Amino acid sequence: MAEAAKPESRHFTLRPGFAVFVGLFVLTLYFLWAAYGAAPTSLSFLAEESAGPAPVTPMAGMDVQSASVENMAQDGGGAMTPDEFEEITLKFVEDLSLPDGSVQPTREWTEAMEAARGDGAQEEMDAAGPADAEEPIDVYLMAMRFSYEPRVLRLDRNVPYRFRMMSMDVNHGASIRAGFAGHIMRRPAMVLTEMVMTFSERGEFMIYCTVYCGAGHDQMKGKIIVE
């Protein structure tokens, strides 16, 4: 029997310890992640405050009931019901539509809306951010079976936009094809998500649904024109 061979007579590549060593090699991938800033290099992450939008996670967001109150609060947009969201999105489209049907968000509109709301809370939160950062312009994007509203957005290059997005019925995606890759985003149902995005290149970018949402899923798309 092979096992009968005395350990000393074995080549080291045939010892269990070496096999385990080789097996653990895959863990070194962590160093590469750290080099790209995708993994903490010290325990400092314990003190780090979470910043930025939540990354899209492979399995998250397939839930009927994800519209919990906690979720909405955590998503930072303040609690907003789907009805309120629909109302403001329709106003956004009505106020800012151009003759060709595309919608061009403006800073004036964003400020007027903030003033109208008397939104102290919003300003307080803004003040907490870096003071020199340019204040983003609001964009509303509503996803529903099987279209987006507005369908065509006209944005300026190198200007930050605060996308406020909600799926009105089931989970959808609102991915943007830019450069030669996709920027994949999931939008769980009835949850308001906010994300500030700045487009650094001119062009026409496709918005497309990347979460299967029913029979018309593959007709669900929109467009962002960056000028």
Binding site for Cu ion (CB under 5 A): 172, 209, 213, 220
Query: Which range of residues in 79-87, 89-97, 112-120, 219-227 is near other proteins by CB under 8 A?
Result: 219-227
Rounded to whole angstroms, the Cα distance separating 76 from 192 reads: 8
What count of other Cβ atoms lies within 10 Å of the Cβ of residue 153?
Answer: 23
Q: Which does 172 bind (CB under 5 to 8 A by kind): Cu ion, other proteins, none?
A: Cu ion
Tell me: does residue 111 bind other proteins (CB under 8 A).
Answer: no
Binding to other proteins (CB under 8 A) within 47-106 occurs at 48, 50-66, 71, 74-76, 100-102
Tell me: does residue 1 bind other proteins (CB under 8 A).
Answer: yes
Q: Which residues pair with 183 in a beta bridge?
A: 176
Cβ(72)–Cβ(79) below 8 Å: yes
Tell me: does residue 204 bind other proteins (CB under 8 A).
Answer: yes
- Please say which residue, 166 or 211, places its beta carbon nearer to other proteins: 211
Binding pattern for the stretch 25-44 against other proteins, x by CB under 8 A and - elsewhere: xxxxxx-xx--x-xxx----
- Please say which residue, 110 or 171, places its beta carbon nearer to Cu ion: 171
- Going by C-beta distance under 8 Å and a sequence separation of 6 or more, which residues neighbour residue 206? 176, 177, 221, 222, 223, 224
Shortest reach from residue 46's CB to other proteins, in Å: 6
Shortest reach from residue 113's CB to other proteins, in Å: 14
Rounded to whole angstroms, the Cα distance separating 45 from 161 reads: 28
- Going by C-beta distance under 8 Å and a sequence separation of 6 or more, which residues neighbour residue 39? 30, 33
- H/E stretch holding 203 reads strand 203-208
What is the edge-to-edge ordering of all strands in the sheet holding 160-167?
147-149, 137-144, 160-167
Binding to other proteins (CB under 8 A) within 124-143 occurs at 125-126, 128-129, 133, 135-136
Tell me: does residue 10 bind other proteins (CB under 8 A).
Answer: yes
